[in-house]
């Protein structure tokens, strides 16, 4: 059931969103050649706990870490590991919190040192497609309007959208209705009421849209092993214009 949140609930979701946003920025400060993704995970987990929150991914359906760290051809759900980041890699940090009974959930893909022009383009287009999705997330619109906005923007650059995974409602549970696909047709899908809180999270591949699940049952890889980027923000559906709860401001003020 697609159910809007009360303003009191939205305030709690906002507190979570700010913790997650700041956590992503902390991670970003550490992203550099020579650093392991396990170290990035540790930075995130410490920051979340220091802020009185719980890393909601840890133990979620058996997930073994506080964060997802997805490098290069890993689309999402990568395990933090002793993999040492190298110049030219990209790493997506996906972070969730549980605080005062509500959830936070946002993601950002960081370049490691200098990346090539095609990779830079992938990052820029994926992030911009998220904002296209947010623009479409107005009261009275449908989930298909968001998906269409993301997909048409991404495909106009020759990149492709992953279809097997999608955004979602957010509240007491990390994944609530409705599902928010990153592809679709305008005017289709559940209608978005004022006050609905959703995560929009385009996953965009440099090559084909095909993906497969790794043998560990979690990491989603691109079938052609080309790079994939992922950005996620939490918004409240409002009349006229969605209201962002999480933000990349803390990251972007550091120049990443």
Footprint on this chain of Mg ion (rule: CB under 5 A): 94, 105, 107, 199, 232
Least CB distance to Mg ion at residue 38 (A):
19
105 or 176: whose CB is closer to Mg ion? 105
Contact in structure between 23 and 44 (CB atoms under 8 Å):
yes
Q: Give the separation between CA 205 and CA 227, rounded to whole angstroms.
A: 6
* Residue whose CB is less far from Mg ion, 48 or 157: 48
Which residues does 98 contact at the CB level (< 8 Å), separation at least 6? 16, 53, 54, 55, 56, 104
Q: Considering the complex, what minimum distance in angstroms separates the CB of residue 73 from Mg ion?
A: 19
Residue placing its CB nearer to Mg ion in the complex, 24 or 107: 107
- Smallest gap from Cβ 116 to Mg ion, in A, equals 26
Instruction: Please name every residue paired with 204 in a beta bridge, in sequence order, or none if there are none.
Output: 161, 229
CA distance 94 to 107: 4
Residues counted in the chain: 256
Q: Going along the chain, which residue ranges are E strands? A: 54-55, 67-71, 74-76, 90-99, 102-111, 160-161, 167-169, 176-180, 197-200, 203-205, 211-213, 220-222, 228-230, 233-236, 243-244
DSSP string spanning 230-248? E-BEEEE-BSSS-EESS-S
Judged by CB, which is closer to Mg ion: 145, or 232?
A: 232
107 versus 236: smaller Cβ distance to Mg ion:
107
Distance of closest approach, residue 158 Cβ to Mg ion, in angstroms: 26
Residue 96 CB, nearest approach to Mg ion (Å):
6
As measured in angstroms, the least distance from the Cβ of 243 to Mg ion is 18
Residue number with CB closer to Mg ion (9 or 224): 9
């Amino acid at each position: 059931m697609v159910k809007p949140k009360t303003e009191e609930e939205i305030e709690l979701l906002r507190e979570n969103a700010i913790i997650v946003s700041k956590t992503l920025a902390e991670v970003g400060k550490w992203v550099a050649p020579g650093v392991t993704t396990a170290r990035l995970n540790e930075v995130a987990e410490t920051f979340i706990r220091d802020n009185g929150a719980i890393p909601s991914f840890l133990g979620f359906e058996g997930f073994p870490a506080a964060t997802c760290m997805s490098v290069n051809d890993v689309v999402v759900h990568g395990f933090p590991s002793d993999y040492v980041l190298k110049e030219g890699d990209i790493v997506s940090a996906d972070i969730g919190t549980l605080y005062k009974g509500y959830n936070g959930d946002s993601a950002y893909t960081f370049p490691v040192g200098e990346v090539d022009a095609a990779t830079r383009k992938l990052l820029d287009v994926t992030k911009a497609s998220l904002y296209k999705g947010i623009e479409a997330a107005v009261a009275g619109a449908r989930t298909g309007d968001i998906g269409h906005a993301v997909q048409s923007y991404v495909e106009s650059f020759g990149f492709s959208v992953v279809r097997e995974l999608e955004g979602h409602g957010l509240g007491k549970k990390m994944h609530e209705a409705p599902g928010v696909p990153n592809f679709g047709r305008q005017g289709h899908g559940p209608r978005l009421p004022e006050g609905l809180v959703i995560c929009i999270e385009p996953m965009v591949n440099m090559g084909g849209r095909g993906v497969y699940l790794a043998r560990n049952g979690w990491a989603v890889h691109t079938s052609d092993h080309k790079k994939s980027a992922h950005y996620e923000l939490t918004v409240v559906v409002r009349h006229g214009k969605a209201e962002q709860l999480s933000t990349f401001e803390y990251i972007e003020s550091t120049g990443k």
